[in-house]
Amino acid sequence: MKEYDVIVIGSGVGMNIVFSALSDGLRVALVDRGDVGGTCLNVGCIPSKMLIYPADRIVEIEGSQRFGINAKIKDVDFSTIMGRMKVPILQGRKFLRREIRNSKDLDFYNKEAYFVDEYTLKIGNELIRGKRIFIVSGSRIAVPPVKGIDEIDYLTNESVLELKKRPRSMIIIGGGYVAAEYAHFFAAMGTEVTVVEMGDRMLRQEEPEVSELLRKELSKRMGIFTNTETVETGRARGGYFVKVRDRLSGRERRLAAAAVMVATGRKSNADLLRVENSGIETDAANYVAVDRFLRTNKENIYAFGDAVGRQMFTHAGDKEAEIAWHNARNGEKREMDFDAVPHAVFTTPQIASVGLTEETAGRDHEILIGKAHYSDTVAGDTMAEKEGFAKAVVEKDTERILGFHIIGPYASILIQEVVNAVANRSSVNSITGCMHIFPALSEIIPEALSNLK
Protein backbone atom coordinates (compact mmCIF):
# COMPACT_ATOMS: atom_id res chain seq x y z
CA MET A 1 0.00 0.00 0.00
CA LYS A 2 1.33 3.45 -0.95
CA GLU A 3 1.53 5.98 1.87
CA TYR A 4 1.24 9.73 1.36
CA ASP A 5 1.60 12.80 3.53
CA VAL A 6 -1.47 14.28 1.88
CA ILE A 7 -4.34 12.81 -0.14
CA VAL A 8 -6.63 15.21 -2.00
CA ILE A 9 -9.91 13.84 -3.38
CA GLY A 10 -11.09 16.18 -6.13
CA SER A 11 -9.15 18.33 -8.59
CA GLY A 12 -11.44 21.39 -8.51
CA VAL A 13 -10.69 23.75 -5.64
CA GLY A 14 -8.78 20.79 -4.18
CA MET A 15 -5.89 21.79 -6.49
CA ASN A 16 -5.12 24.63 -4.04
CA ILE A 17 -4.17 22.01 -1.44
CA VAL A 18 -2.16 19.98 -3.97
CA PHE A 19 -0.01 22.99 -4.91
CA SER A 20 0.43 24.12 -1.28
CA ALA A 21 1.43 20.63 -0.10
CA LEU A 22 3.87 20.19 -2.99
CA SER A 23 5.52 23.51 -2.25
CA ASP A 24 6.05 22.27 1.32
CA GLY A 25 7.92 19.28 -0.14
CA LEU A 26 5.26 16.73 0.85
CA ARG A 27 4.31 13.47 -0.93
CA VAL A 28 0.87 14.00 -2.40
CA ALA A 29 -1.81 11.81 -4.02
CA LEU A 30 -4.51 13.51 -6.08
CA VAL A 31 -7.60 11.48 -6.97
CA ASP A 32 -10.24 12.48 -9.48
CA ARG A 33 -12.64 10.30 -11.42
CA GLY A 34 -13.31 13.00 -14.01
CA ASP A 35 -11.50 15.67 -16.00
CA VAL A 36 -8.86 17.63 -14.11
CA GLY A 37 -10.15 20.99 -12.97
CA GLY A 38 -13.53 19.80 -11.67
CA THR A 39 -16.92 21.38 -12.27
CA CYS A 40 -15.96 25.05 -12.52
CA LEU A 41 -13.43 24.63 -15.31
CA ASN A 42 -15.09 21.83 -17.25
CA VAL A 43 -18.85 22.18 -16.93
CA GLY A 44 -19.63 25.08 -14.60
CA CYS A 45 -18.51 28.68 -14.20
CA ILE A 46 -16.09 28.96 -17.08
CA PRO A 47 -18.07 27.50 -19.98
CA SER A 48 -21.32 29.12 -18.81
CA LYS A 49 -19.69 32.54 -18.57
CA MET A 50 -18.04 32.11 -21.97
CA LEU A 51 -21.53 31.58 -23.38
CA ILE A 52 -23.22 34.32 -21.39
CA TYR A 53 -20.87 37.09 -22.50
CA PRO A 54 -22.06 37.00 -26.13
CA ALA A 55 -25.65 36.56 -24.90
CA ASP A 56 -25.30 39.79 -22.91
CA ARG A 57 -24.01 41.58 -26.01
CA ILE A 58 -27.03 40.42 -28.02
CA VAL A 59 -29.47 41.72 -25.41
CA GLU A 60 -27.48 44.96 -25.22
CA ILE A 61 -27.54 45.47 -28.98
CA GLU A 62 -31.23 44.65 -29.16
CA GLY A 63 -31.90 47.19 -26.42
CA SER A 64 -29.83 49.99 -27.93
CA GLN A 65 -32.78 51.57 -29.69
CA ARG A 66 -33.44 53.56 -26.54
CA PHE A 67 -30.27 55.54 -27.29
CA GLY A 68 -31.31 56.16 -30.87
CA ILE A 69 -29.08 53.37 -32.17
CA ASN A 70 -31.00 51.29 -34.63
CA ALA A 71 -28.83 48.19 -34.86
CA LYS A 72 -30.01 44.91 -36.25
CA ILE A 73 -28.26 41.59 -35.63
CA LYS A 74 -27.89 39.86 -38.99
CA ASP A 75 -26.78 36.49 -37.74
CA VAL A 76 -25.71 34.71 -34.57
CA ASP A 77 -23.26 31.90 -35.27
CA PHE A 78 -24.12 29.33 -32.61
CA SER A 79 -21.26 27.01 -33.50
CA THR A 80 -18.67 29.83 -33.19
CA ILE A 81 -20.07 30.73 -29.77
CA MET A 82 -19.98 27.08 -28.65
CA GLY A 83 -16.49 26.56 -30.10
CA ARG A 84 -15.07 29.65 -28.34
CA MET A 85 -16.49 28.35 -25.04
CA LYS A 86 -14.27 25.25 -25.26
CA VAL A 87 -10.97 27.15 -25.57
CA PRO A 88 -10.33 28.04 -21.90
CA ILE A 89 -11.51 24.58 -20.80
CA LEU A 90 -8.90 22.87 -22.97
CA GLN A 91 -6.22 25.39 -21.97
CA GLY A 92 -7.05 24.96 -18.27
CA ARG A 93 -6.89 21.17 -18.47
CA LYS A 94 -3.63 21.33 -20.43
CA PHE A 95 -2.08 23.60 -17.82
CA LEU A 96 -3.16 21.37 -14.94
CA ARG A 97 -2.04 18.16 -16.68
CA ARG A 98 1.38 19.68 -17.35
CA GLU A 99 1.72 20.79 -13.71
CA ILE A 100 0.70 17.32 -12.54
CA ARG A 101 3.14 15.60 -14.92
CA ASN A 102 6.01 17.84 -13.86
CA SER A 103 5.50 17.37 -10.11
CA LYS A 104 7.72 14.51 -9.00
CA ASP A 105 6.16 14.27 -5.54
CA LEU A 106 2.65 13.94 -6.92
CA ASP A 107 0.78 10.80 -8.01
CA PHE A 108 -2.42 11.43 -9.94
CA TYR A 109 -5.08 8.71 -9.83
CA ASN A 110 -7.60 9.49 -12.56
CA LYS A 111 -10.19 7.06 -11.15
CA GLU A 112 -13.00 6.83 -8.65
CA ALA A 113 -11.92 6.31 -5.04
CA TYR A 114 -13.75 5.19 -1.94
CA PHE A 115 -12.88 4.83 1.72
CA VAL A 116 -12.23 1.35 3.05
CA ASP A 117 -11.29 2.56 6.51
CA GLU A 118 -10.41 5.77 8.34
CA TYR A 119 -7.36 6.83 6.38
CA THR A 120 -7.35 4.30 3.51
CA LEU A 121 -8.84 4.66 0.05
CA LYS A 122 -9.37 2.06 -2.63
CA ILE A 123 -8.76 3.14 -6.22
CA GLY A 124 -9.28 0.35 -8.74
CA ASN A 125 -7.19 -2.48 -7.29
CA GLU A 126 -4.87 -0.20 -5.33
CA LEU A 127 -5.02 0.90 -1.74
CA ILE A 128 -3.52 4.21 -0.65
CA ARG A 129 -3.18 5.68 2.79
CA GLY A 130 -2.77 9.32 3.85
CA LYS A 131 -1.63 11.09 7.00
CA ARG A 132 -3.88 14.01 6.10
CA ILE A 133 -6.88 13.72 3.81
CA PHE A 134 -8.78 16.55 2.15
CA ILE A 135 -12.25 15.67 0.86
CA VAL A 136 -12.99 18.04 -1.98
CA SER A 137 -15.24 15.73 -3.94
CA GLY A 138 -17.79 18.33 -4.99
CA SER A 139 -21.36 17.73 -6.05
CA ARG A 140 -23.27 16.47 -9.06
CA ILE A 141 -26.60 17.27 -10.65
CA ALA A 142 -29.70 16.13 -8.78
CA VAL A 143 -32.31 14.92 -11.25
CA PRO A 144 -35.86 15.00 -9.88
CA PRO A 145 -37.82 11.72 -9.84
CA VAL A 146 -40.21 12.75 -12.61
CA LYS A 147 -42.13 10.04 -14.49
CA GLY A 148 -40.45 9.31 -17.83
CA ILE A 149 -37.39 11.49 -17.19
CA ASP A 150 -34.97 8.61 -17.71
CA GLU A 151 -36.47 7.83 -21.09
CA ILE A 152 -35.63 11.20 -22.62
CA ASP A 153 -32.25 12.65 -23.56
CA TYR A 154 -32.53 15.67 -21.30
CA LEU A 155 -29.71 18.20 -21.23
CA THR A 156 -27.73 19.06 -18.12
CA ASN A 157 -25.05 21.65 -17.39
CA GLU A 158 -22.65 19.01 -18.81
CA SER A 159 -24.32 17.75 -21.98
CA VAL A 160 -25.57 21.20 -22.96
CA LEU A 161 -21.96 22.13 -23.74
CA GLU A 162 -21.86 19.48 -26.49
CA LEU A 163 -24.76 20.93 -28.50
CA LYS A 164 -23.80 21.48 -32.12
CA LYS A 165 -27.05 23.11 -33.21
CA ARG A 166 -29.16 25.67 -31.42
CA PRO A 167 -32.41 24.02 -30.30
CA ARG A 168 -35.48 25.69 -31.78
CA SER A 169 -37.22 25.53 -28.41
CA MET A 170 -36.28 24.41 -24.91
CA ILE A 171 -38.04 23.73 -21.62
CA ILE A 172 -35.79 24.30 -18.61
CA ILE A 173 -36.89 22.46 -15.48
CA GLY A 174 -35.68 24.40 -12.43
CA GLY A 175 -35.50 28.05 -11.42
CA GLY A 176 -32.17 28.42 -9.64
CA TYR A 177 -29.17 30.29 -10.97
CA VAL A 178 -28.04 27.61 -13.43
CA ALA A 179 -31.55 27.52 -14.93
CA ALA A 180 -31.72 31.34 -15.04
CA GLU A 181 -28.30 31.72 -16.67
CA TYR A 182 -28.94 29.10 -19.37
CA ALA A 183 -32.47 30.48 -19.96
CA HIS A 184 -30.87 33.88 -20.58
CA PHE A 185 -28.26 32.36 -22.88
CA PHE A 186 -30.62 30.31 -25.04
CA ALA A 187 -33.25 33.05 -25.26
CA ALA A 188 -30.54 35.44 -26.50
CA MET A 189 -29.47 32.85 -29.09
CA GLY A 190 -33.03 32.81 -30.44
CA THR A 191 -34.31 29.63 -28.79
CA GLU A 192 -37.90 29.77 -27.58
CA VAL A 193 -37.36 29.16 -23.85
CA THR A 194 -39.85 28.08 -21.17
CA VAL A 195 -38.79 27.87 -17.53
CA VAL A 196 -40.73 25.60 -15.16
CA GLU A 197 -40.10 26.27 -11.48
CA MET A 198 -41.78 24.41 -8.64
CA GLY A 199 -41.38 27.17 -6.03
CA ASP A 200 -43.30 30.42 -5.98
CA ARG A 201 -40.41 32.35 -7.55
CA MET A 202 -37.13 31.95 -9.39
CA LEU A 203 -33.91 32.35 -7.38
CA ARG A 204 -35.43 31.61 -4.00
CA GLN A 205 -32.29 32.65 -2.11
CA GLU A 206 -32.47 36.22 -3.41
CA GLU A 207 -34.54 39.10 -2.01
CA PRO A 208 -38.16 38.70 -3.22
CA GLU A 209 -38.07 42.03 -5.09
CA VAL A 210 -34.87 40.94 -6.87
CA SER A 211 -36.56 37.69 -7.99
CA GLU A 212 -39.59 39.68 -9.08
CA LEU A 213 -37.60 42.09 -11.23
CA LEU A 214 -35.70 39.20 -12.79
CA ARG A 215 -39.01 37.48 -13.60
CA LYS A 216 -40.37 40.70 -15.11
CA GLU A 217 -37.30 41.25 -17.28
CA LEU A 218 -36.82 37.61 -18.36
CA SER A 219 -40.55 37.29 -19.11
CA LYS A 220 -40.04 39.73 -21.97
CA ARG A 221 -37.87 37.09 -23.63
CA MET A 222 -39.27 33.72 -22.47
CA GLY A 223 -42.12 31.92 -20.76
CA ILE A 224 -41.81 31.46 -17.00
CA PHE A 225 -44.08 29.19 -14.96
CA THR A 226 -43.67 29.34 -11.19
CA ASN A 227 -45.56 27.25 -8.63
CA THR A 228 -45.48 24.63 -11.33
CA GLU A 229 -44.48 21.04 -10.82
CA THR A 230 -43.16 18.84 -13.61
CA VAL A 231 -45.11 15.60 -13.39
CA GLU A 232 -44.16 13.71 -16.54
CA THR A 233 -41.83 13.90 -19.51
CA GLY A 234 -41.67 11.90 -22.70
CA ARG A 235 -40.97 11.95 -26.39
CA ALA A 236 -43.22 13.86 -28.74
CA ARG A 237 -43.07 14.70 -32.44
CA GLY A 238 -40.01 16.82 -33.08
CA GLY A 239 -38.80 16.60 -29.49
CA TYR A 240 -40.32 16.12 -26.07
CA PHE A 241 -43.38 16.87 -24.00
CA VAL A 242 -43.34 18.02 -20.40
CA LYS A 243 -46.55 17.66 -18.42
CA VAL A 244 -46.79 20.25 -15.67
CA ARG A 245 -49.22 20.87 -12.83
CA ASP A 246 -50.04 24.28 -11.38
CA ARG A 247 -49.55 23.77 -7.65
CA LEU A 248 -52.19 26.34 -6.74
CA SER A 249 -55.04 25.39 -9.09
CA GLY A 250 -54.05 21.75 -9.70
CA ARG A 251 -54.56 22.36 -13.43
CA GLU A 252 -52.36 20.29 -15.72
CA ARG A 253 -51.02 21.24 -19.12
CA ARG A 254 -48.69 19.71 -21.68
CA LEU A 255 -45.75 21.75 -22.92
CA ALA A 256 -43.64 20.70 -25.89
CA ALA A 257 -40.14 21.63 -27.04
CA ALA A 258 -37.25 20.40 -29.14
CA ALA A 259 -35.04 20.12 -26.04
CA VAL A 260 -35.44 19.73 -22.29
CA MET A 261 -32.80 20.88 -19.82
CA VAL A 262 -32.78 19.77 -16.18
CA ALA A 263 -31.30 22.32 -13.75
CA THR A 264 -32.90 21.39 -10.46
CA GLY A 265 -29.93 21.65 -8.12
CA ARG A 266 -27.02 19.56 -6.93
CA LYS A 267 -26.43 16.59 -4.68
CA SER A 268 -23.50 15.38 -2.62
CA ASN A 269 -20.84 13.00 -3.96
CA ALA A 270 -20.24 11.58 -0.46
CA ASP A 271 -22.12 8.41 -1.49
CA LEU A 272 -19.56 7.64 -4.24
CA LEU A 273 -16.77 8.11 -1.74
CA ARG A 274 -18.46 5.82 0.82
CA VAL A 275 -17.42 8.16 3.61
CA GLU A 276 -19.37 6.01 6.07
CA ASN A 277 -16.54 3.41 5.87
CA SER A 278 -14.22 5.96 7.44
CA GLY A 279 -16.65 6.99 10.16
CA ILE A 280 -16.80 10.53 8.75
CA GLU A 281 -20.10 12.13 9.61
CA THR A 282 -22.43 13.67 7.05
CA ASP A 283 -25.33 16.08 7.48
CA ALA A 284 -29.02 15.46 6.76
CA ALA A 285 -28.48 16.03 3.02
CA ASN A 286 -25.44 13.68 3.03
CA TYR A 287 -22.87 16.48 2.62
CA VAL A 288 -19.67 15.99 4.64
CA ALA A 289 -20.13 17.58 8.06
CA VAL A 290 -17.41 20.04 9.11
CA ASP A 291 -16.95 22.56 11.89
CA ARG A 292 -16.08 26.25 11.38
CA PHE A 293 -12.44 25.24 10.96
CA LEU A 294 -13.37 22.83 8.13
CA ARG A 295 -12.46 19.77 10.17
CA THR A 296 -14.53 16.60 9.90
CA ASN A 297 -15.11 14.52 13.02
CA LYS A 298 -11.96 12.50 12.13
CA GLU A 299 -8.61 13.93 13.08
CA ASN A 300 -6.55 15.18 10.09
CA ILE A 301 -9.44 14.75 7.68
CA TYR A 302 -10.70 18.07 6.34
CA ALA A 303 -13.47 18.81 3.84
CA PHE A 304 -14.50 21.89 1.89
CA GLY A 305 -15.90 23.16 -1.41
CA ASP A 306 -19.20 21.80 -2.70
CA ALA A 307 -18.51 18.60 -0.71
CA VAL A 308 -19.66 20.38 2.47
CA GLY A 309 -22.77 21.82 0.77
CA ARG A 310 -22.55 25.29 2.33
CA GLN A 311 -21.74 28.10 -0.10
CA MET A 312 -21.34 26.25 -3.37
CA PHE A 313 -19.22 28.74 -5.31
CA THR A 314 -15.66 28.58 -6.55
CA HIS A 315 -14.48 31.69 -4.70
CA ALA A 316 -15.90 30.20 -1.46
CA GLY A 317 -14.07 26.93 -2.14
CA ASP A 318 -10.81 28.75 -2.82
CA LYS A 319 -11.10 30.65 0.47
CA GLU A 320 -11.97 27.45 2.32
CA ALA A 321 -8.91 25.74 0.80
CA GLU A 322 -6.70 28.51 2.20
CA ILE A 323 -8.25 28.10 5.65
CA ALA A 324 -8.25 24.28 5.66
CA TRP A 325 -4.61 24.18 4.59
CA HIS A 326 -3.60 26.81 7.14
CA ASN A 327 -5.35 24.90 9.95
CA ALA A 328 -4.04 21.49 8.86
CA ARG A 329 -0.48 22.68 8.42
CA ASN A 330 -0.13 24.93 11.44
CA GLY A 331 -2.49 23.20 13.83
CA GLU A 332 -4.37 26.48 14.13
CA LYS A 333 -8.05 27.29 14.18
CA ARG A 334 -8.83 29.89 11.56
CA GLU A 335 -12.58 30.13 10.93
CA MET A 336 -14.38 30.20 7.61
CA ASP A 337 -16.81 33.12 7.51
CA PHE A 338 -19.71 31.64 5.55
CA ASP A 339 -21.73 34.85 6.10
CA ALA A 340 -19.43 36.99 3.97
CA VAL A 341 -19.58 34.85 0.81
CA PRO A 342 -20.83 36.87 -2.15
CA HIS A 343 -22.42 35.46 -5.26
CA ALA A 344 -23.65 36.66 -8.62
CA VAL A 345 -26.17 35.46 -11.15
CA PHE A 346 -24.96 36.28 -14.64
CA THR A 347 -28.26 36.96 -16.32
CA THR A 348 -29.33 40.22 -17.95
CA PRO A 349 -30.17 41.89 -15.65
CA GLN A 350 -27.23 40.78 -13.52
CA ILE A 351 -27.68 40.00 -9.83
CA ALA A 352 -25.15 40.12 -7.01
CA SER A 353 -25.53 39.66 -3.31
CA VAL A 354 -23.57 39.32 -0.09
CA GLY A 355 -24.59 38.57 3.47
CA LEU A 356 -28.07 38.39 4.92
CA THR A 357 -31.39 39.15 3.27
CA GLU A 358 -33.97 41.37 4.98
CA GLU A 359 -35.87 38.29 6.14
CA THR A 360 -32.90 36.35 7.51
CA ALA A 361 -31.34 39.42 9.17
CA GLY A 362 -34.69 40.39 10.68
CA ARG A 363 -34.82 37.13 12.65
CA ASP A 364 -31.83 38.00 14.87
CA HIS A 365 -31.24 41.74 14.48
CA GLU A 366 -33.06 45.03 14.61
CA ILE A 367 -32.48 46.29 11.09
CA LEU A 368 -32.71 49.25 8.76
CA ILE A 369 -33.25 48.93 5.02
CA GLY A 370 -31.83 51.33 2.42
CA LYS A 371 -32.65 51.34 -1.27
CA ALA A 372 -31.45 53.23 -4.31
CA HIS A 373 -32.26 52.84 -7.96
CA TYR A 374 -29.63 53.01 -10.69
CA SER A 375 -31.63 55.97 -11.96
CA ASP A 376 -30.85 57.82 -8.71
CA THR A 377 -27.29 58.13 -9.98
CA VAL A 378 -26.13 60.14 -12.98
CA ALA A 379 -24.37 57.08 -14.44
CA GLY A 380 -27.56 55.02 -14.13
CA ASP A 381 -29.41 57.79 -15.96
CA THR A 382 -26.85 57.85 -18.78
CA MET A 383 -27.54 54.13 -19.24
CA ALA A 384 -31.31 54.71 -19.21
CA GLU A 385 -31.45 52.06 -16.49
CA LYS A 386 -34.93 52.44 -15.08
CA GLU A 387 -35.56 49.29 -13.04
CA GLY A 388 -32.26 48.16 -11.49
CA PHE A 389 -31.70 48.83 -7.81
CA ALA A 390 -29.54 48.18 -4.77
CA LYS A 391 -30.79 47.22 -1.32
CA ALA A 392 -28.85 47.47 1.92
CA VAL A 393 -29.58 45.57 5.14
CA VAL A 394 -27.98 47.27 8.14
CA GLU A 395 -27.99 46.57 11.88
CA LYS A 396 -29.79 49.48 13.55
CA ASP A 397 -27.67 50.04 16.64
CA THR A 398 -24.21 49.48 15.24
CA GLU A 399 -24.85 50.50 11.61
CA ARG A 400 -22.99 47.33 10.62
CA ILE A 401 -23.75 46.22 7.07
CA LEU A 402 -25.33 42.78 7.30
CA GLY A 403 -26.29 42.28 3.67
CA PHE A 404 -26.42 43.97 0.29
CA HIS A 405 -28.29 43.03 -2.88
CA ILE A 406 -28.07 44.47 -6.37
CA ILE A 407 -29.92 43.80 -9.60
CA GLY A 408 -28.83 45.67 -12.70
CA PRO A 409 -25.80 46.29 -14.92
CA TYR A 410 -22.39 45.38 -13.50
CA ALA A 411 -23.92 44.15 -10.22
CA SER A 412 -21.13 41.57 -9.80
CA ILE A 413 -18.49 44.32 -9.91
CA LEU A 414 -20.40 46.88 -7.85
CA ILE A 415 -20.95 44.46 -4.95
CA GLN A 416 -17.22 44.08 -4.25
CA GLU A 417 -16.96 47.24 -2.15
CA VAL A 418 -19.69 45.91 0.11
CA VAL A 419 -18.16 42.41 0.23
CA ASN A 420 -15.07 43.98 1.80
CA ALA A 421 -17.20 45.87 4.32
CA VAL A 422 -19.27 42.79 5.26
CA ALA A 423 -16.15 40.62 5.60
CA ASN A 424 -14.48 43.24 7.80
CA ARG A 425 -17.67 43.78 9.82
CA SER A 426 -17.53 47.45 8.90
CA SER A 427 -20.25 50.00 9.41
CA VAL A 428 -22.05 52.17 6.87
CA ASN A 429 -19.55 54.96 7.37
CA SER A 430 -16.68 52.85 5.97
CA ILE A 431 -18.40 53.29 2.61
CA THR A 432 -20.35 56.56 2.86
CA GLY A 433 -17.28 58.25 4.39
CA CYS A 434 -15.24 57.61 1.24
CA MET A 435 -15.43 59.50 -2.01
CA HIS A 436 -17.01 57.76 -4.95
CA ILE A 437 -16.09 58.86 -8.44
CA PHE A 438 -18.62 61.15 -10.05
CA PRO A 439 -20.47 60.21 -12.18
CA ALA A 440 -19.82 56.47 -11.80
CA LEU A 441 -22.26 53.66 -11.11
CA SER A 442 -20.47 52.95 -7.82
CA GLU A 443 -22.44 55.90 -6.41
CA ILE A 444 -25.43 53.58 -6.07
CA ILE A 445 -23.75 51.91 -3.05
CA PRO A 446 -23.45 54.98 -0.77
CA GLU A 447 -26.80 56.16 -2.16
CA ALA A 448 -28.55 53.02 -0.86
CA LEU A 449 -26.67 53.28 2.45
CA SER A 450 -27.77 56.90 2.88
CA ASN A 451 -31.45 56.07 2.61
CA LEU A 452 -31.75 53.84 5.65
CA LYS A 453 -35.20 53.57 7.20
Ligand X SMILES: Cc1cc2nc3c(=O)[nH]c(=O)nc-3n(C[C@H](O)[C@H](O)[C@H](O)COP(=O)(O)OP(=O)(O)OC[C@H]3O[C@@H](n4cnc5c(N)ncnc54)[C@H](O)[C@@H]3O)c2cc1C
Pick 35 or 200: Cβ nearer ligand X: 35
Is 261 or 372 the residue whose CB approaches ligand X more closely? 261
- For residue 191, state whether it binds ligand X (rule: CB under 6 A): no
- What distances in angstroms separate CA 93 from CA 16, 40, 224, 305, one per listed residue? 15, 12, 36, 19
Q: Does 340 bind ligand X (CB under 6 A)?
A: no
From candidates 16, 157, 278, 347, binder to ligand X by CB under 6 A? 157
Among 38, 54, 309, 446, binds ligand X (CB under 6 A): 38
What are the strands of the beta sheet with 259-262, ordered from one edge? 223-225, 192-196, 169-173, 259-262
The pattern of x and - marking residues 49 through 68 that bind ligand X according to CB under 6 A reads x-------------------
Q: Any idea how long the chain is?
A: 453
Q: Is 136 in the site for ligand X (CB under 6 A)?
A: yes
* Shortest reach from residue 305's CB to ligand X, in Å: 2
Ordered alpha helix ranges (H), 33-133: 38-43, 45-62, 78-101
Phi and psi dihedrals of 431, rounded to 5? Answer: -105, -50
CA distance 96 to 211: 38
Round to whole Å and give the CA distance between 269 and 38: 13
Binding residue (CB under 6 A) for ligand X from 32, 207, 395, 443: 32
Among residues 48, 230, 268, 442, the one that binds ligand X under rule CB under 6 A: 48
Give me the least distance between CB of 191 and ligand X, in Å please. 17
> Does residue 9 interact with ligand X by CB under 6 A?
yes
Q: Give the residue with the Cβ less far from ligand X, 306 or 443.
A: 306
Query: Could you count the other beta carbons within 10 Å of the beta carbon of residue 7?
Result: 29
Q: Any contact of residue 347 with ligand X (CB under 6 A)?
A: no
Give SS3 for 249: coil
Tell me if 265 contacts ligand X by CB under 6 A. Answer: no
Whichever of 321 and 356 has its CB closer to ligand X, that residue is 321
How far from 327 is each of 120, 293, 299, 393, CA to CA, in Å? 22, 7, 12, 32
Give the residue, chosen from 7, 8, 13, 428, that forms a contact with ligand X under the rule CB under 6 A: 13
User: Which amino acid, one-letter code, is at 124?
Assistant: G
- Confirm or reject binding of residue 34 to ligand X (CB under 6 A): yes
d(CA 269, CA 295): 18
> DSSP label at 355?
E
Residues 271-310 that bind ligand X (CB under 6 A): 272-273, 305-307
- The dihedral through the CA atoms of 415, 419, 422, 428 has a sign that is negative
Residue 425: CA atoms inside 13 Å, Cβ hemisphere, count?
Answer: 2
Nearest residue (CB) to ligand X, 113 versus 393: 113
| Residue 336 touching ligand X (CB under 6 A) | no
Residues that bind ligand X (CB under 6 A): 9-14, 31-34, 38-40, 44-45, 48-49, 112-114, 136-139, 157, 178, 269, 272-273, 305-307, 312-315, 317
